[in-house]
């Protein structure tokens, strides 16, 4: 009789396990939904950079038009320990951590910024997407200008907002790459500290 009673008590207790698992899973899902949709992190107002070996990006002439881009690689820093793909782009306005240079008009007029191309969600490679309709429809993000997009999980990053994640599962901004001007050469010299 005592053995039968303890089995009953065990069965009474065991029905709670799947209920607790469902509650915990649902709670975690709600947390992740809130995190992804409402708690995206802002990039630092004044980025701090870790020094990397100098990498030639290109000349100022390579950025003659708005949204011109140059892809390059930093010697290390990727999540796998290898070279880190990066992208420099000319923007319509200045961005913290960027570089403003004379584009040939005798005054500072070209605003350059560079970012790591490694998505902060699951390390896929982001690209500069100039097709506003594709971003609006394919990435489900309403925009009126080019954005950095990740084709793997549809994250969207805004280069005009310092690489901030604005849509998709990515929460952290893209790390910025420090650019310096040496004569007419644009050189990458650092990566934003995490």
Domain chopping of the chain, boundaries = 2-38, 49-192
29 pLDDT band, cuts 50/70/90, is confident
**Comparison of pLDDT for 10 and 189, the residue scoring more:** 189
Nearest-angstrom CA–CA distance, 70 and 72? 7
Is pLDDT above 70 for 1? no
- pLDDT (average), residues 148-177: 97
- 44 has pLDDT over 60: yes
What fold, for 49-192?
Answer: Rieske Iron-sulfur Protein (2.102.10)
d(CA 147, CA 128): 6
Q: How far is 44 from 149, CA to CA, in rounded Å?
A: 20
- The whole-number pLDDT of residue 80 equals 66
Question: What is residue 194's predicted lDDT score, i.e. its pLDDT?
Answer: 80
Q: Which residues pair with 30 in a beta bridge?
A: none
pLDDT in tens, 91-110: 999 999 999 998 777 778 89
Question: Mean pLDDT across the stretch 136-162?
Answer: 96
Q: Are 147 and 164 in contact, with CB atoms under 8 Å apart?
A: no
Considering the entire predicted model, what is its pTM? 0.85
- What pLDDT, on the 0 to 100 scale, is given for residue 65? 93
Q: What mean pLDDT is predicted for residues 20-41?
A: 87
Comparing CA positions, the residue from 85, 54, 49 lying closest to residue 70 is 85
Average pLDDT, the chain: 91
């Amino acid at each position: 009789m005592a053995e039968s009673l303890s089995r009953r008590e065990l069965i009474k207790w065991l029905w709670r396990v799947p209920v607790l698992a469902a509650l915990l899973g649902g709670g975690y899902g709600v947390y992740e939904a809130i995190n992804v949709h409402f708690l995206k992190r802002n990039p630092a107002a004044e980025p701090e950079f870790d020094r990397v070996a100098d990498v030639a990006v290109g000349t100022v002439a390579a950025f003659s038009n708005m949204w011109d881009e140059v892809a390059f690689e930093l010697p290390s820093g990727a999540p796998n320990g290898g070279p880190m793909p990066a992208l420099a782009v000319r923007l319509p306005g200045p961005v913290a951590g960027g570089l403003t240079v004379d584009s040939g008009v005798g005054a500072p007029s070209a605003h350059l910024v560079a970012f790591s191309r490694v998505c902060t969600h699951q390390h896929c490679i982001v690209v500069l997407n100039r097709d506003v309709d594709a971003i609006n429809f394919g990435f489900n993000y309403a925009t009126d200008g080019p954005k950095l997009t990740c084709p793997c999980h549809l994250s969207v990053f805004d280069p005009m907002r310092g690489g901030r994640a604005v849509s998709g599962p990515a929460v952290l901004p893209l790390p910025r790459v420090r650019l310096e001007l040496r004569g007419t050469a644009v050189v990458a010299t650092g990566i934003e500290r995490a």
